[in-house]
Structure 1
Amino acid sequence: MDFSNPTSITFIIYILAMIGIGFAAWRYTNNLSDYILGGRSLGSFVTAMSAGASDMSGWLLMGLPGALFASGLSESWIAIGLIIGAWFNWYMVAGRLRVYTEITHNALTLPDYFSHRFEDHSKILRVLAAIVILVFFTIYCASGMVAGARLFQETFGFSYGVSLWAGAAATIIYVFIGGFLAVSWTDTVQATLMIFALLLAPIMVLVNLGGFDHAISTIQAVDVNYTDWFRGTTFIGIVSLMAWGLGYMGQPHILARFMAAESYATMKNARRIGMTWMIVCLFGAMAVGFFGIAYFAAHPDQAAPVTANRETVFITLAQVLFNPWIAGILLSAILAAVMSTLSCQLLVCSSALTEDFYKAFLRPNASQKELVWFGRLMVLAVAVLAIGIASNPDSRVLGLVGYAWAGFGAAFGPVVLFSLLWPRMTRNGALAGMLVGAVTVIIWRNGGWFGLYEMVPGFAFACIAIVVGSKLDKEPSEEMKTAFGKMQAMVK
C-alpha cells in the first residue's frame, strides 16, 4: 500500500474518524437501552440522517448508477417506489411506533415490541421474529462485507482475504465500542458525505459535457431508448420495481431509528429532513449513471472499467474528473454507504440475541453492565459468522440478499402496520401474518410466477392472514385496548 496516495490517506483519515466517534459514544453508553437504542435520545436531524444512511447501502452509489448506465431511465421506477414507500413509512409508522414501543414496557427491539403489544406470554412471536432477523441480517452483513472488501482491494491493493478483515474491522470497532449512539452519529456523518458526493459528481459530469441539453442529445445519439421511461418494461415489471417501497415498514434497522427518537414531536421535522436527503441522493445516483452514458460515449478511451463492470461508473467518474484528494473523499462515500448499513445490521442482530434470547430466556435478572457486554460480544460473534460466509465472495448464499428485503417487508411490514392502526389485531393474527408473509416470499421466489416481485403477493397474503387470524381469535384484552387508545391519543 502506498501511504502517499491521496485516496489511501483519505480512507485512513475517514476510518479513524469513525472509530473516534465510537470512543466518544462510549461515554454515553451505560445500560442496555443506551447500547441498543441510544437511550431514546436522538433529535430530528440525527434520526433522519441515520435512518437514511442505514437504509442506503453500497447499492446507492454502485448498483443504482450501474443500472441507469446500462438501461437508461426505465430503471428509475425502483427509486420512485422507494420514495413513496419511505414517505408512507415516515408518515404512518414512525411516530406511532415511537410512542407505542414506549407504552409497551419500553420495548427495545421489534420482537420485544411484538411480544408486549400482543401480550404473547408464550414468547413465540418474540422467538420467531428474532430468528427471522438473525437469519436474514447475517446474510445481509456478509453481503456488506463483500462490498467493503472489494472497495479495500481497489483502494489499497490488498488480497481479498486481507481486505475482508480490514473492511469488517473498521465497522466492528466502532459498533463494539459505542453501540447505537456510535452507529447513529457515524450514520449522520456518512449520510452527509453521501449527499455531498451525489450532488457534486453529476454536476461535474454535466460541466464536462457542456451542459444538460448537450448531455441529453449525446445520450439520444447513443440510443434514443435510453430516455424512454418505458423501454423494455411491462406493467408487472413496473409494479415489481415500485413494490420495493412496501418493504420499508418491515426493515428492523430502519424501524429502530424511529424507536430511538427523542420524542414523537421530533418526527415531523425528521420526516422532512429524511425525505429531502433521500430524494436528493436517489436522483443524484440516477444522474451519475444516466449522464455517465454521455460522458463515456464522449470519452471512449476511459470507458474500459465501466464496460467491464457497469457498477464502477461512479468510481471511474470520481477518478477521472476530480483531483485525487477530492476523488478520495468521493470514494469514501461508497465506504460510508457500506459501513452505515453494515453497522446497523450488526447492532440489530446483537440486540435480538441479547434482549430476545439471553435476557428473555437465560438471564432475566442480568445486570445492565452484563447485558451491554453480552451485546458487544454478540456483535463480534455475528461479525465473525458473516465474515465466514463472505470469505467466499461467490457463495450462492449471498444471492439470498436479493429477497431478504422482501422477506422482512412481507413478514414484518403488515404486522407492524396493522399493529399500529387496527385495535382488533391479536397475537394469532400477528403470528399468521408473519408466517404467511415469510413463507409466501420463499415459495414465490422459487416459483417465479408471472415475473412478479415476491414482495407483492407476500405483503398481500400477510395482510389477509392478519385479518382472518385476528377475526377468528378472541377479542383483545382490555389492557391491550387501553394501551392502543393511549397510543392513538398521543399521536393526534
Structure 2
Amino acid sequence: MTKDTIIILTLSVYIVVLITLGYFGSRKTYNNTDFFIGGRSLGPFVASMSYVASSASAWVMLGLSGIGYAVGISALWVVPGLALGHGFSWVWVAPRLQKLSHEKKLVTVTDILILEGSDKTKKNIRVFTALIIIFCFMFYVAAQLQAAGGTFAVTFDLSLRNSILLGGFVIMIYTMLGGFWAVSLTDTLQGTLMMVASLLLPTLALIEVGGISDFWQNYKASASLEQLSLGGSNTGLMLIGFVLGSMSIGLGALGQPHLLIRFMSMKKNVKMRVAQIIAISCVAVSMIGMIILGMCGSIMVNEISNAEDIFFMLTDSLLPVVLGGIMVAAVLSAVLSTADSQLLVSASSIAHDLMGEEAEGHSKLFVSRIVIAVLCVFAVITSIYLPSDIFSRVLFAWNALGASIGPVIFMRLAGVRVNSRAILPSMIFGFLMTIIFFLRPDAPGDFLERAVPFILCLLILYFTRRR
C-alpha cells in the first residue's frame, strides 16, 4: 500500500466521522437557539476544547510553526500576549457572559451590543455588526481554506485550486447539517487531535536534534543573530514597539464572536474552573509547541520556499505514514474547527440579528444554511484569487473584530453605563483605524494596528458613558 493511499484512507475515515457527527448534531437541532448556541447546554470539556480548536486555528499549526522557523525565539513574545488575552477571557469574561446569556436569553454577540437604546440605534448596530463580521470572517475562512488547500496540495500533489474547493465542500456540508451542536462535537474531536499534534511533533523534533540539552547548542550553530535575539532585528524604541505589539495581540480575544459564543453556550451550572484550566493550558501548550517545532525545523531543514510548510516537512520526516496521515488530519482539524465556527456566527448575524424575532424558526434555519453556503463560495474565491500568507490574513481579521466589538463587550460586562449612541461610532472608528494601520507600512510588532484602535475605542466609550 502506497503512502498516498494510506493517508487518503486515514483522512477519509476522519472526514466520514466529522460528517457523521454533523448528522447526529442535526438530530438535536429543532430551532434557531439550538442551531446557533446549542440550547445553552455545553459542559466544561466540550466548551473548552471547542474554544481551543476554534482559537488555535491553522495560524497556530502552520503560521506559528512557520514564524518559529523564520524569526526564531522572538516569536515567543506572541505566547504571553495571547495567553493573557485568552486567560482574561476565561477568568473574567466567561462567567459574566455566561450568566448574562442565561438571564437575558441572548443568542448572538450582537444581542449584547444592543441591550439598550432606541429601535433605530439597535437596528444600525445590528446592520454594521453583521457587515463587519461577514467581511472579517470571509478573510478568516479564506485563510483556513488556504491552509486546507495547502495541506491537500502538499500531501497529494493536487493543484491548490482543487484542494481549496475540496476543503470548502467538507466544511460547508457538516456545518450546514447540524449547526452549533455539530460544530461543538466536531471541534471537541479536532481540539483533542490538535493537542496530540502539539505535544507529539515538538517532542519528536527535540529528540531528533539531540534532546533539550543539545537543542540550544545546535540552534545557535545554525541560526542567524536575529533568530537568536528576543527582539529579532529590533533595537531601542523599535524593540519596545515590537514587544508591545506582540503582547497586545491578546486584546483581540475580547472581540471574537466565534469564541465569545462558547461562553454564552455553557449550561447554567457548568464547572467553570474545569473549563478554564483546560482551555488556558491547551492554548499555551499549542502555541509553545508549534514555535519549538519551527525552531527545530530550522536546525533540520536549511532552506524552504514557504516557512509555513515546515509542519508538513517535519511530519513527513519524523513519523511513519499512518501517524503522518493523522498529523495531516490535525492540520485539517485546525482549519475546519475555526472555519465552521465562523461560518455559523456569520449565519447567525444574518438569520437572527437582521431577520429579527418575527421571522419563523424554520425560515431562519433555511436562511442560515444558505448564508453558510454563500460565504463558503466567496471565501473559496478570495482564497484562490487573493492569496496571502495565513498568519497575516488571520491577524488582520482578528484585530479588526477585536477593536470593533471587544471594547463594547468589556464595558458592558464591567458594569459601565455605556451610552448606546456612542457604540456605533466607536465600532466604526475601531474598524476603520485597524484598516488604516494595516494598509500603512508595518510598525515593529504591528502595535499600532493591534493596540491603538482598541484603546481609543475604550476611551470613547468611557468618556461618553451615562453618569
Counterpart in 1 of 2:229? 228
Q: How much does 1:449 deviate? A: 7.9
Relative to the length of structure 2, the TM-score reads: 0.93
Percent same amino acid at aligned positions? 31
| Letter of the structure 1 residue corresponding to residue 319 of structure 2 | F
Matched residue count: 458
**Partner Cα distance (1:248, 1:396) in 2:** 21
* More displaced 10-residue stretch of structure 1: 15-24 or 124-133: 124-133
Residue by residue over 1:451-472, the C-alpha shift from the partner in whole angstroms, topping out at 9 and shown as x without a partner, is 433121101110111012224x
Counterpart in 2 of 1:465? 460
Residue by residue over 1:105-161, the C-alpha shift from the partner in whole angstroms, topping out at 9 and shown as x without a partner, is x1211112212x224421222222111111111221122212211212222333333
**Partner Cα distance (1:284, 1:204) in 2:** 11
Measured at CA, do residues 3 and 325 of structure 1 come closer, stay the same or move farther in structure 2, by a change above 3 Å?
Answer: closer
**Partner Cα distance (2:219, 2:290) in 1:** 17
Residue segments in structure 2 that go unaligned for 5+ positions in a row? none
Counterpart in 2 of 1:25? 25
- Aligned with 1:237 (options 230, 235, 242): 242
Q: How much does 1:248 deviate? A: 0.3
Q: Does 1:328 align with 2:325?
A: yes
Counterpart in 2 of 1:248? 253
| Letter of the structure 2 residue corresponding to residue 461 of structure 1 | L
**Partner Cα distance (1:457, 1:393) in 2:** 27
Counterpart in 2 of 1:108? 107
Measured at CA, do residues 291 and 397 of structure 1 come closer, stay the same or move farther in structure 2, by a change above 3 Å?
Answer: closer
Q: How much does 1:43 deviate? A: 0.3
Q: How much does 1:411 deviate? A: 0.7
Measured at CA, do residues 28 and 9 of structure 1 come closer, stay the same or move farther in structure 2, by a change above 3 Å?
Answer: same
Does the aligned pair in 2 maintain the 1:139–1:397 contact within 8 Å?
A: no
Counterpart in 2 of 1:490? none
**Partner Cα distance (2:76, 2:367) in 1:** 43
Does the aligned pair in 2 maintain the 1:246–1:455 contact within 8 Å?
A: yes
Counterpart in 2 of 1:292? 297
Does the aligned pair in 2 maintain the 1:18–1:174 contact within 8 Å?
A: yes
Measured at CA, do residues 397 and 385 of structure 1 come closer, stay the same or move farther in structure 2, by a change above 3 Å?
Answer: farther
Q: Which has the higher contact order (CA 8 A, sep 6+)?
A: 2
| Letter of the structure 2 residue corresponding to residue 107 of structure 1 | L
Q: Does 1:385 align with 2:382?
A: no
* More displaced 10-residue stretch of structure 1: 436-445 or 54-63: 436-445
**Partner Cα distance (1:313, 1:113) in 2:** 41
Counterpart in 1 of 2:413? 420
Matches within 5 A, 1:1-20: 5-20=5-20
Does the aligned pair in 2 maintain the 1:130–1:353 contact within 8 Å?
A: yes
Q: Does 1:309 align with 2:306?
A: yes
| Letter of the structure 2 residue corresponding to residue 62 of structure 1 | L
Residue segments in structure 1 that go unaligned for 5+ positions in a row? 297-302, 476-492
Counterpart in 1 of 2:288? 283
**Partner Cα distance (2:17, 2:155) in 1:** 18
Measured at CA, do residues 149 and 420 of structure 1 come closer, stay the same or move farther in structure 2, by a change above 3 Å?
Answer: same
Q: How much does 1:434 deviate? A: 1.5
Measured at CA, do residues 224 and 379 of structure 1 come closer, stay the same or move farther in structure 2, by a change above 3 Å?
Answer: closer
Matches within 5 A, 1:449-460: 451=444, 452-460=447-455
Does the aligned pair in 2 maintain the 1:107–1:113 contact within 8 Å?
A: yes
| Letter of the structure 2 residue corresponding to residue 48 of structure 1 | S
3-state secondary structure, aligned to 1:168: helix
Q: Does 1:118 align with 2:116?
A: yes
| Letter of the structure 1 residue corresponding to residue 429 of structure 2 | V
**Partner Cα distance (2:442, 2:22) in 1:** 46
Q: Does 1:357 align with 2:382?
A: no
Q: How much does 1:3 deviate? A: 8.8
Does the aligned pair in 2 maintain the 1:98–1:264 contact within 8 Å?
A: no
* More displaced 10-residue stretch of structure 1: 141-150 or 187-196: 141-150
Q: How much does 1:2 deviate? A: 7.1
Matches within 5 A, 1:203-218: 203-218=203-218
Q: Does 1:432 align with 2:425?
A: yes
Residue by residue over 1:292-324, the C-alpha shift from the partner in whole angstroms, topping out at 9 and shown as x without a partner, is 22333xxxxxx5xx5222211121111011110
Matches within 5 A, 1:5-154: 5-104=5-104, 106-115=105-114, 117-122=115-120, 123-154=123-154
| Letter of the structure 2 residue corresponding to residue 181 of structure 1 | W
* More displaced 10-residue stretch of structure 1: 440-449 or 322-331: 440-449
Q: Which has the larger radius of gyration?
A: 1
**Partner Cα distance (2:331, 2:389) in 1:** 24
**Partner Cα distance (1:426, 1:254) in 2:** 25
* More displaced 10-residue stretch of structure 1: 25-34 or 226-235: 226-235
Does the aligned pair in 1 maintain the 2:56–2:286 contact within 8 Å?
A: no
3-state secondary structure, aligned to 1:470: coil
Q: How much does 1:274 deviate? A: 0.3
Q: How much does 1:393 deviate? A: 4.6
Relative to the length of structure 1, the TM-score reads: 0.88
**Partner Cα distance (1:400, 1:194) in 2:** 21
Residue by residue over 1:147-206, the C-alpha shift from the partner in whole angstroms, topping out at 9 and shown as x without a partner, is 211212222333333222211111111100010011111111111111101111121122
